[in-house]
Amino acid sequence: MNVIFKNATILDKESPFHKQKADVKVENGIIKNIGQNLSSKNGFEIVELENLHLSQGWFDSSVSFGEPGFEDRETIANGLNTAAKSGFTNVALQPNSFPVIDNQSQVSFVLNKAKGFATTLHPIGAFTKNSEGTDLAEMFDMKNAGAIAFGDYNKNLDNANLLKIGLQYVQDFDGLVIAYCQDKTVKGNGVVHEGLVSTRLGLKGIPALAEELEVARNLFLLEYTGGKLHIPTISSAKSVELIRAAKAKGLHVTCSVAVHNLVLTDDVLTGFDSRYKVTPPLRDENHRKALLEGVLDGTIDMITSDHNPIDIELKKMEFDNAKNGTIGLESAFGALQNVLSLEIIIEKLTHGKSVFGIEKPAIKEGNKACFTLFTTEGNWEFTKEHILSKSKNSAFLGLPMKGRAYGIYNNGQLILN
């Protein structure tokens, strides 16, 4: 599709047009010209949107779609269309389907399902077979099939030696290991953050210590083995401190934080609404502030929606029994503008590509056109009408939003919300 984007503010530090307003002409998926008052010709679609901004395409390092096995929650097709309309040109798909993505054929299956969409899907292969934490999965074969990293979604690896061996093994092919951190024995039967709110509500708490013990252990293992480790969706102040210190030592560690842990606290649990049951749990204001500081000083490398659709039968039930997870693609940008500056948001929604080895073309003439269209203006409230996912388990319903994604241009396709 040939398009001219009119009067767009370009936000891309790698572009010579950073913070400038210009027209951007795209022909056959390539940026042909950037300048003022570019003339159109037959075959070009003109895109003029209020307060139009363009940045490098956003990347979400953690999404779950359900297919294969849980198509009632979300299909790959609808998930990718949701991602596109939410501003994401690239998403990393978690392996928590049925069967688990733990071999070459499963990686090939989801990649074939994702062909032809504007948003590019990047599979994460399971670190262990069936994500059971017992035997290493076929990581080298999955890497050759297109997997960009290896991890068992929201499952802590109890066997420290297995993580050690895995970190050593993947270095032969420059693999990236993802290690979710939450000690099951310390967590126990906890369902929310351990603190004043859990005590007041009578809900069993999960100490921040459950996360911090495993973060510390995994960083020690990384220091011993070398290699690359990514710690997803951290939630505690001490985790930020530990990772900050590890980076200062020169360890090759990166980490992410979920939008809901930056925006919400456990104060929202007062109504026992299971939409707010997530893992790691929503913590108190002190932890939230520490996470924001970690984002600002670069300790936290990227922000993820941790988009996890759950069918209503497993979500709308007693809090203790409800399944963890919230959808988040549709609300990510609007929610983040409540707590972070625009420049930081764009950086944290694009930097993850560098960590996961994904192409990151700048907005320059001659480069592939891969960018997100959005506006920074407009205050609104997130409601069910804004949900594009098949599942409706959003922790952001009723939350005030600022600005929104218009859509994306990627893989030669224009998708507008």
Active-site residue set: 306
For residue 106, give the nearest of 78, 72, 76 by alpha carbon. 76
Euclidean distance between CA atoms 101 and 178, whole angstroms: 14
The phi, psi pair for 61, rounded to 5°, reads -85, 0
